[in-house]
Structure 1
Amino acid sequence: MSGFTWHGGRLAEARAVYGGADWIDLSTGISPLTWPGADLVSVDWRCLPDPHDLAALEAAAAAYFGVDPDHLCTVPGSEAGLRLVGRMLDMPGRWLTPSYRTHGEIFAQGRPLAAGEDAPAEAIALLLANPNNPDGRVLPPARLLERLDGLERARGWLIVDEAYADVMPSCSLAGEVGDGRRLILLRSFGKFFGLAGVRLGFLIGPRAIVAEARRMLGEWPVSAAAIAFGRAAYGDRAWIERAIATLAEGAAQLDEVLARHGLAAQGACPLFRLIEVEDGPALFDRLARRAILTRPFAENGRWLRLGLPGDAAALTRLDRALADG
């Protein structure tokens, strides 16, 4: 179980352990809706990424997030951006739990905070995800701004991992970013657009932080393909609006299936649900034997996280597998 509890997406390992070919992967929080324009984007693999194309990508992303392009820089995935921030700030960190396992690796020194625990009144960097993973918790912007005010008084920083904010735009603090605020956001491209392999993300923060991140990353932070995909996708507002609505409908349907089997879904993020059962590894194993991969957790054997099924057939298969006890 150790590999499956580390992170999702281990289909090759699942096939090696359980066999089968026609798997449904519900082990990640990546959208099952893939942006359809990816197959139409042309990339010249012979050339280095063009600085003008990178600037155009950042302008498109900044317009989508609602920030000035000077407050945004491109990073090769939001996790890489977080690790960069940890090095730049070089101060003790705290991170809300439960959350991403890798959040504890961002800072050279620090400790976790429980969800209801207040951050100490000292110069620290507080890291949290909103929406959160794996429980889908969403903190209202007003509550986050209260935390930010307290951290600023102590000369600390608030870092918000907004990797899932595309499906819930109202929870984002992008409009609060500025040179006078000790606030840094990380955004992910692949989770919402269903293109996690592109490895594209953005750091949003004060211009001094953005300038230092650009200096550390160099002139070619991401590939020409990532630039082309992101530039086109962020401009496809019609698809984005349809996807947000479709994902919300799919999450409601998943909730109905889970409830039918006595499983209460936790979380507000439409891309996944966390359930609590008597024996999480046993349910993981039962579903895996039916070629449905989910995400168990080493730190809590009662948890199982399920990503959003991609279509009605996948949801029906999950329904039948849960019924076949």
Structure 2
Amino acid sequence: MSAPIAHGGGITAAAAIFGGRPEDWLDLSTGINPCPVALPDIPARAWHRLPDRHLVDEARRAARDHYGSGEILPLPVPGTQSVIQLLPRLIEAGRGTTTDKRVAVAVVSPTYGEYARAFTSAGFAVDAVGDVAAVRAEHLLAVVVNPNNPDGRAWPAETLIALHDRMKAAGGLLVVDEAFGDTDPALSLAARVQELSNLIIFRSFGKFFGLAGLRLGFAIARDDILARFEDWLGPWAVSGPALSIAGSLLRSDVAPIRSRINERCAGLHAVLKGAGLRMAGGTALFTLVADARAGDIYTHLCRHHILVRKFDYAPEWLRFGLTPDVAADRRLSQALQRFEQ
């Protein structure tokens, strides 16, 4: 089994090294909306009873309308991490008893590391390719995170549709992870899934709504693929309260959420520019900074109880998540101003 990947959000571990109470730290290490939406009313029966089918169906209909997936009803899953880990099984199930000797998958990289880890742990060779054009016919499956984490690269729909068609012609599957897609809906392929039979889309619920602790995501694909995911996840995979919240919030007006995220993104950019840091990419929910002093900046911010994301494979990179308010902007700005003073 491959080694665990260090992700953002490790405030407890950081506080154990640099001191302070975890609740007093400013966590900028994730790409989660720092201004969580107000929770809707949750019926008492959602807590009391096992999640009944009507809750699942309502969440699926709300997700269909929110993501624009047409006749495809997205499948609620307990965080997209749960279905990432099922992808190797999907390939094996699709290969059946054929003599196809292909064992490699392609992951457009660098990106979210759990894709490569899931396939490597399952015994597949993983080709980390730099662009969608490098995906080859012999790849059983290709993964594209769009927009990408951590550099924010984005591929237009027609480019990914062409990739899908190449994959389908060779009997392969295309996975497009749209975890950060809510802030840029024009990039989404959700409306095309019905006609793109070898496409699987993953969507995150918690990042955009600021409710990552809910552990909720959606898979969008043809019915037989979703049926396999549902079977492998087992009964009651998503809690009743999570389904109830999804059914409400996915039907709400999300324009104010996007507006608030964009406001916080502008605030972060102003701070980073004021500190003379070079922004090398990102999305509305995070910004990637490239600086030869990244390791020292990371440690300096930790000493001020501010956590950002560093990368072992790119030591010159730091990823900054959004601050929740103007006061946090000032706190980050003041800490950066003290660097090397």
TM-score when scaled to structure 2?
Answer: 0.89
Alignment-derived partner of residue 302 in structure 1: 316
Helix, strand or coil at the partner of 1:304: strand
Task: Give, as a single letter, the amino acid of the residue that structure 2 aligns with 1:27.
Answer: S
CA distance 1:273–1:43, change in 2 (3 Å): farther
1:63-96, Cα deviation, whole Å (9 max, x unpaired) = 1111146442111111112222331122632111
Matches within 5 A, 1:1-325: 6-21=6-21, 22-38=24-40, 40-44=41-45, 45-68=47-70, 70-90=72-92, 92-107=104-119, 108=122, 109-116=124-131, 118-178=134-194, 181-237=197-253, 240-325=254-339
Please give the alpha-carbon distance, in whole angstroms, between the structure 1 residues aligned to 2:110 and 2:199: 21
Please give the alpha-carbon distance, in whole angstroms, between the structure 2 residues aligned to 1:168 and 1:184: 19
Please give the alpha-carbon distance, in whole angstroms, between the structure 2 residues aligned to 1:106 and 1:58: 26
Structure 1's consecutive aligned runs of 4 or more residues displaced over 4 angstroms after TM superposition are: none
1:279 shift after superposition: 2.6
1:132 shift after superposition: 0.9
Task: Check conservation: 1:43, 1:224, Cα contact below 8 A.
Answer: no
1:282 shift after superposition: 1.1
Please give the alpha-carbon distance, in whole angstroms, between the structure 1 residues aligned to 2:128 and 2:19: 40
1:241-278, Cα deviation, whole Å (9 max, x unpaired) = 11112212221221222122221213241100110111
Task: Give, as a single letter, the amino acid of the residue that structure 1 aligns with 2:273.
Answer: A
Task: Check conservation: 1:81, 1:201, Cα contact below 8 A.
Answer: no
Task: Give, as a single letter, the amino acid of the residue that structure 2 aligns with 1:178.
Answer: Q
Structure 2 unaligned residues grouped into runs of 5+: 93-102
RMSD: 1.9
Helix, strand or coil at the partner of 2:174: strand
Structure 1 unaligned residues grouped into runs of 5+: none
Please give the alpha-carbon distance, in whole angstroms, between the structure 2 residues aligned to 1:241 and 1:202: 21
1:175 shift after superposition: 1.0
Please give the alpha-carbon distance, in whole angstroms, between the structure 2 residues aligned to 1:304 and 1:185: 27
| % identity of equivalent residues | 36
Please give the alpha-carbon distance, in whole angstroms, between the structure 1 residues aligned to 2:5 and 2:239: 30
TM-score when scaled to structure 1?
Answer: 0.93
1:118-168, Cα deviation, whole Å (9 max, x unpaired) = 111225200121111111111111211121121122111110111111111
Q: How many pairs align?
A: 320
Helix, strand or coil at the partner of 1:6: coil
CA distance 1:219–1:54, change in 2 (3 Å): same
CA distance 1:33–1:123, change in 2 (3 Å): same
1:225 shift after superposition: 1.3
Task: Check conservation: 1:82, 1:106, Cα contact below 8 A.
Answer: yes
Greater displacement, 41-50 / 297-306: 41-50
